[in-house]
Each structure stands twice: as C-alpha cells, then as structure tokens.
Amino acid sequence: MDFSRETVSLKKLHLDTDNARHGTLDAEADAIAWMLTDFRAKAKTYKLAGAIAEKGLSPIDDILVVPMDDTTDDYVVVEGNRRVTALKLLLNPDLAPTEIIKRRYQQLASAAAVEIPKAIECKIAPGFQEASYWIQLRHGGEQEGVGTVPWGSKELERYHSRIGQRGPNAKSMGVLDYAYENKILNADQIRSFPLTNLTRLLNDPGVRARMGIEVTADGVRSTVKETFFRKGLALLLRQLADGDVTVTSIKQKEQRRDYIDQVMNTAGVDTDQKAAQPYDVKGSKSYYANGAATPQPRGRGRRPTHERKSMIPRNFSLGFSLKRLKNVFEELQYISVEDCPNAVAVLFRVFFEGCLDRYAEKAKLSGYNRNSDNLKKRSQRVIEGLKQSGRIDKNVANPVGAFLTSPNGVGSITTFNSYIHNIAHHPLPRDLKTTWDNLAPFFEALDGHL
C-alpha cells in the first residue's frame, strides 16, 4: 500500500505516546503535559505555537500519521507531534495541565494573526514500519548526505543577510570583515573561522568591558584608541582561528573573563587610552562568505525594548536550583507587561529580593543580613561581593549600582519598594522593560548561584 495524502480533523489525530522524545507514556494527556512542562520542551512548544498563530503551519513540512487501528478512521501522529500539540492547545487551551499554561495559550490564540485550522493535511503511511525509514532519515542526522543536512552558523548568517536581517552572529561577522580589511586575518582564516566562539565572547558584558567595546543595533563599536584595540583584537582572532580556544574552554563566565584578561594583558592593551570618538568595528563590505566583496545588507538588530511583550526577554536564560525562584523568573518572561504592569512590577520586586537572598546564601556572603538590612544595603553588599569574587568588574558594577541607587529612578530600590507599598505609584511597561535591560548584566553575574 502506498503513502497517501488526506485532510484530517485534529480531533482524529492522536499524539504518539511512544514518541522518542519522551519515551512510553500512558495517554495523550501525559504527552501533552510533557510537551508543556519538560524543562527543554516547554519553551520550544510555546514558541512553535506562537509562530503558528502568527504565520500558520509550515507549507514545506508534512505531518506524517499512521492508522490508529482497523476499527476507526483515527490516526497516530508519528512525525509532527509538537506541531499537532501546539495546534490542539491553540484550539483548546483547556488541554493544558496548569492554569498558568492555559492562560498563555489563550493569549496566543486570542492574538492569532491567522485562522487556526481545525483540520490539516497529513501524509498517511500504511503503518509504523513503513514510516520508520523516513522518520529516521529526518532525525538521524546527515547520514553522509542521505538525511537532512543542517545549516551551520555561516550558512544561517548568509541567509539572514540575503533577506536583509541580522542573525545571532551578525556582529561577529562584522568584526571579521573589519579584521580582513585591516589585514588582521586572511581569506583562508576567515572562511574557516569558528564564528560561534567569537559570538559567545562578544555576548559577555564582562568581555566587552575588558575589550573596550559595546554592542549597538548596527554591530560592535569601540571606545579605545584604534592602535591599542587592534593589538588585542588581532591576538584574540588569531588564537580563535588557530583553534587554540575551544568551546569548552570559554563555556563558563569565569573562563571567558580569565581568557580575555590573558589576551589583553599579553597584547599590552590599555583600554584607558580612549579614542577621540567611538568608531564602528566592521568592514565596509562583507568578505565572510567566500572572500569576495559583496554588499552587506543592513538589517534589523535585536528586537527593540518597546516591542517586547514581557519584562524579561524570553531568550534570556538563568540557571536556578530554587524551584520557586525559577517559576517566578519564567512567569516574568511570559506575563504581558503591557496588559499587567502592576502584577509584573510586584512580581519583579519579589524576584529581585529573592535573587539577592539566594545568592548571598549560596555564595556564603559575609556581612549580608536579610533580617536587619534594608533592600538597598543588601543589593550594595551583593554587588561588592560580586566584584570581590571577580564575577563582575567595575565597568558593569558601577552603572548597575548607580541605576539601583538613583533617587526615584525607574530602576531604583525606592521605586521597587513603591511598587508594593505606595498604592498611588503606577508602574509603566516601558520603565519595567528598561529596568530589566539595565540590570541584565547584574543577573548574569548571579547566574550559577540562584
């Protein structure tokens, strides 16, 4: 019997309770619960549902199903379980295992830009054995070219450039273009360069501070005299190009900070030698793809703060060993700050204090007294402790400290307290998002002790 194609009602599509992602489960409700509560799966399922609500199902990926049994015209989904889960939740959020998750999917469904289909086109295989070859081909890796060959960071950035957007490695590509134009690296080094290692370093606020650079919507900008800056950049890029630096050697924040200190000290870079004015660290053209000079489309950078729906960006990650603190963090990533500014403000005040107390406890911070010291004093003690332990330097600590202690500033301790104790204080969504953007480096420094 050949494969066939048919439009099937979602009510007749059942999730695979033996799916390789989660192993054998008793019922479809268990599979849905796993998709929505598993640490790794839940965020991906939610984002997929959001994409479907905005753009619809992908027209280039089939849902593959097999007959459930001989007595019904129902089917089991053997390829596309996440997509079918997302569709089921958008159509019926009551399937969610908790009220919080239910509300999230209700919000997605109510804001959908396209009609959520109640029936979808499926590819029907005669049975699981006939389907298994194609499932393995899809998920089993390249298999010497027979399977799906994924894009690497270079291919992905070329595609982003083609459609006029900026991908996650765009700033690194700009730095490499600068390096090629200034004869720091040659074409062969550019073509084989480990792009994501450079991106990992540039994404670290401490690394940027030590190098004397900042990230803007257009890429990287330096404030250090160019002669000094190039010395440090040249040593850094050549070590990366030569393979002297591996992913595991710069995986942890402390490793990255130690490494960049070693590079800057070896190169003799004095970041106090300031340029007359900041300058962009990017080439006039793009050389990264193949050494040929092709125009570099200017695209969109990081999503502007005012467009973000939540206080904390959903792609910002922290590690937690305290479950409630983790839950509060995730709620701040999903609650709409535009719709619920009061709830978000109060919840953030709880989260901020909880992070201070948790860090002090795990780091065994001396001189920290949660019972007698006020929030301002405790935050100052934590910042001092972070500086003393080398988890944060003055270029990050000083602006954060000033932001927290600025009288009546949008992110001041006084304002935090007003969210709870002053009923006349009305938090503004943009102020809350700005607060997070300014304090994000501080929370990054706490990572690993929460």
Per-residue pLDDT tens digits for 375-388: 888 888 888 888 88
| Residue 292 belongs to some domain of the structure | no
Can you tell me the mean pLDDT for 180-188? Answer: 86
Helix, strand, or coil here: 264? helix
The model's pLDDT over 347-360, given as tens digits with 9 standing for 90+, comes to: 999 999 999 999 89
- Residue 174 scores a pLDDT above 60: yes
| Residue 290 belongs to some domain of the structure | no
Helix, strand, or coil here: 340? coil
In this prediction, residue 169 carries a pLDDT of: 80
| Residue 79 belongs to some domain of the structure | yes
Q: Do residue 159 and residue 132 come from a single domain?
A: no
C-alpha to C-alpha distance for 356 and 379, rounded to whole angstroms: 7
Which of 227, 262, 280 is the last residue before a domain boundary?
A: 280
CA distance between the termini of the chain: 56
Q: Do residue 17 and residue 96 come from a single domain?
A: yes
| Residue 99 belongs to some domain of the structure | yes
Looking at the chain, the whole-number percentage of residues with pLDDT higher than 70 is 88
C-alpha to C-alpha distance for 401 and 393, rounded to whole angstroms: 12
DSSP state of 126: S
DSSP state of 79: E
H runs (alpha helix) in 367-428: 375-388, 394-405, 413-421
The phi-psi region of residue 110 (left if phi > 0; otherwise alpha if psi is between -120 and 50; otherwise beta) is alpha
Which of 102, 117, 145 is the last residue before a domain boundary?
A: 145
- Residue 120 scores a pLDDT above 80: yes
- Residue 109 scores a pLDDT above 60: yes
Residue type, 49: A
Q: Do residue 121 and residue 165 come from a single domain?
A: no
DSSP state of 251: S
C-alpha to C-alpha distance for 407 and 378, rounded to whole angstroms: 17
For helices 323-334 and 99-110, angle between their N-to-C axes, nearest 10 degrees: 10
H runs (alpha helix) in 70-169: 81-91, 99-110, 128-139, 153-162
- Number of Cβ atoms within 10 Å of the Cβ of 199: 20
> Residue 32 in contact with residue 15, Cβ under 8 Å?
yes
Question: 57 falls in which pLDDT band (50, 70, 90)?
Answer: very high
In this prediction, residue 302 carries a pLDDT of: 42
Q: How far is CA 115 from the centre of its chain?
A: 28
- Residue 81 scores a pLDDT above 90: yes
Q: Do residue 120 and residue 37 come from a single domain?
A: yes
Residue in the structure block whose two tokens are 């409630």: 324
Q: Do residue 231 and residue 336 come from a single domain?
A: no
- Residue 173 scores a pLDDT above 80: yes
63-67 and 119-124 as β-strands: parallel, antiparallel, unpaired? Answer: parallel
Residue-averaged pLDDT of the chain: 84
Beta bridge partners of 311: none
Quote the tokens at residue 78: 């053997």
| Residue 73 belongs to some domain of the structure | yes
Domain count, the chain: 3
| Residue 210 belongs to some domain of the structure | yes
- For residue 248, what are the contacts with CB-CB under 8 A and spacing of at least 6? none
| Residue 33 belongs to some domain of the structure | yes
219-224 and 274-280 as β-strands: parallel, antiparallel, unpaired? Answer: antiparallel
> Residue 316 in contact with residue 440, Cβ under 8 Å?
yes
> Residue 206 in contact with residue 253, Cβ under 8 Å?
yes
- Residue 408 scores a pLDDT above 60: yes
Which residues constitute the domain of residue 408?
A: 307-446
The model's pLDDT over 311-364, given as tens digits with 9 standing for 90+, comes to: 888 777 777 888 888 889 989 988 888 888 999 999 999 999 999 999 898 888
Among 150, 157, 32, smallest CA distance to 88 is for: 32
Q: Do residue 268 and residue 358 come from a single domain?
A: no
Q: Do residue 221 and residue 316 come from a single domain?
A: no
In this prediction, residue 384 carries a pLDDT of: 87
Give phi and psi for 120, each to the nearest 5: -135, 155
Q: Do residue 377 and residue 415 come from a single domain?
A: yes
Q: Do residue 311 and residue 442 come from a single domain?
A: yes
Dihedral of alpha carbons 186, 189, 192, 196, sign: negative
Question: 37 falls in which pLDDT band (50, 70, 90)?
Answer: confident
| Residue 297 belongs to some domain of the structure | no
For the chain, state the CA radius of gyration.
25
In this prediction, residue 284 carries a pLDDT of: 72
Which of 145, 169, 191 is the last residue before a domain boundary?
A: 145
Helix, strand, or coil here: 182? coil
Q: Do residue 311 and residue 346 come from a single domain?
A: yes
Q: Do residue 141 and residue 205 come from a single domain?
A: no
- Residue 116 scores a pLDDT above 90: yes
Q: Do residue 100 and residue 119 come from a single domain?
A: yes
The model's pLDDT over 2-19, given as tens digits with 9 standing for 90+, comes to: 899 999 999 999 999 988
- Residue 106 scores a pLDDT above 60: yes
Tell me, yes or no, if the pTM score tops 0.75.
no
